[in-house]
Amino acid sequence: MITFPSKQPHVQTTIFTKMSAMALEYGALNLSQGFPGFDCDPALQELLQHYSKGHNQYAPMAGVPALRQSLAAKTSSFYSIPVDTETEVTIVSGATEAIFSAVHCCVSPGDEVIMFDPSYDAYDPMVRLAGGIPVHIPLKASRNFAIDWEELARHISPRTRAIMVNSPHNPTGAVWSMADLDAFAEVVKGTKILIISDEVYEHIVFDGAQHASVLLHPELRKRSFVCGSFGKTYHITGWKMGYCIAPEFLTSEFRKLHQWVTFSSATPLQYALADYLKEPAHYLGLSDFYQKKRDLFASQFAGSAWKVLPSAGSFFQCLDYSAISSEKDVDLADRLTREIKVASIPVSVFYETDPGDKILRFCFAKDDAVLLEAAKRLVQLA
Ligand code: PMP
Ligand code: GLN
């Protein structure tokens, strides 16, 4: 038998793969893995069909110029900042690749990378694969998962290479304010620390708030890889299209990595998006669209033993079940999928050390009828 030492001996298949497979197996309503339960705009499908003729060879390594231009123009007008198409924008195969390439182009063996738990499942293994040391700072449900900036400052060492941040936050739906950007800038000012900012839910921010992108703060922007995804904004998670916006000195290192990961991303998809991005209505209505779904889903739990936690952005709603069961969240998520046929994601898997919270994450990017039926089953349980 051929054997070799696993590079990731403790890594298992992701919770998203596991719970979506269970949902399929048990015929459950799948509110686990985060993806829309509805299709994208037919106009975008038509654009793809159009560009599938004559645009089927390799795209330029950094991305099709038309898409980089559309993205630079969109980002520039949305945040009122200049963005350089040539030197600051790279198109990649999903935010997953953007984060991977950002980590691997700057993290060397022994470098520390700070992340806040619950942290998106890909961050820690990506840092370890680069030889880096993940430094986890746990956030507390009792503080609505807000960051304690003094605690962050205490975790910085001479070996800190980068800090990974994510707002709107998966899995909690916590969202940074402009004051958070200022506080963050105070912590990193005068250091050589880089920032990897995962902003895939930038257009899903509720209750009239504006997305506090690190792009808006010069002290942060000058050291940040901003990782984005077209999947969340345009209901096309299956296209696996994303991007990285970063200053020139970071973009040039980022592209050196990206060229070895995928070299370039799917050409016809890039052309279709280049046209589609030009219409602001395609993303400006997204927050309202999802806020209605959040409110519909959350309102179903009024008067029940489920406790609805705040969701200020993203398409996730966390529910606390401590008044219902003492089971571990991984066990309850399993049981709910099998017994009442509603699949969710246990939040503890996003922690290095399980805080023992009793919280499940539900994706509300689903048709209203699905949300109502799922909520009905959950309330009956309580
Ligand atoms: N970061 C976060 C916080 C996410 O939720 C996701 C996917 N849902 C990604 C990154 C990956 O995005 P993509 O599908 O574009 O690779
Ligand atoms: N980001 C999605 C979620 O949080 C899942 C993406 C994936 O399955 N890798 O559910």
The answer to whether the beta carbons of residues 120 and 280 sit under 8 Å apart is no
Least distant ligand from the CA of 97 = 1
pLDDT of residue 381: 87
Render the burial of 92-103: b for 16+ CB within 10 Å, e for the rest: bbbbbbbbbbbb
Helices first, then strands: H and E counts in the chain = 16, 13
Closest ligand by atom to 91 CA: 1
Nearest alpha carbon, ligand 2 atom 8: 16
16: Cβ below 6 Å to ligand 2? Answer: yes
What pLDDT sits at residue 25? 98
pLDDT at 58: 98
Q: Which residues line ligand 1 (CB under 6 A)?
A: 34, 94-96, 120, 166, 170, 198, 200, 229, 231, 237, 240, 242
Nearest CA to ligand 2 atom 4: 34
Listed residue (323, 316, 321) closest to 333, CA to CA: 321
Q: Are 103 and 134 in contact (CB under 8 A)?
A: no
Atom of ligand 1 lying closest to residue 98 CA: 16
Q: Looking at ligand 1, which atom is closest to the CA of residue 230?
A: 15
- H/E run at residue 275: helix 267-276
Ligand 1 centroid from CA 139, angstroms: 20
pTM: 0.98
pLDDT tens for each residue of the chain, 382 residues long: 999 999 999 999 999 999 999 999 999 999 999 999 999 999 999 999 999 999 999 999 999 999 999 999 999 999 999 999 999 999 999 999 999 999 999 999 999 999 999 999 999 999 999 999 999 999 999 999 999 999 999 999 999 999 999 999 999 999 999 999 999 999 999 999 999 999 999 999 999 999 999 999 999 999 999 999 999 999 999 999 999 999 999 999 999 999 999 999 999 999 999 999 999 999 999 999 999 999 999 999 999 999 999 999 999 999 999 999 999 999 999 999 999 999 999 999 999 999 999 999 999 999 999 999 999 999 998 7
Which domains, ranges and CATH numbers included, belong to the chain? Answer: 15-40+284-381 (3.90.1150.10), 56-282 (3.40.640.10)
Nearest to 317 by CA among 125, 170, 209, 154: 170
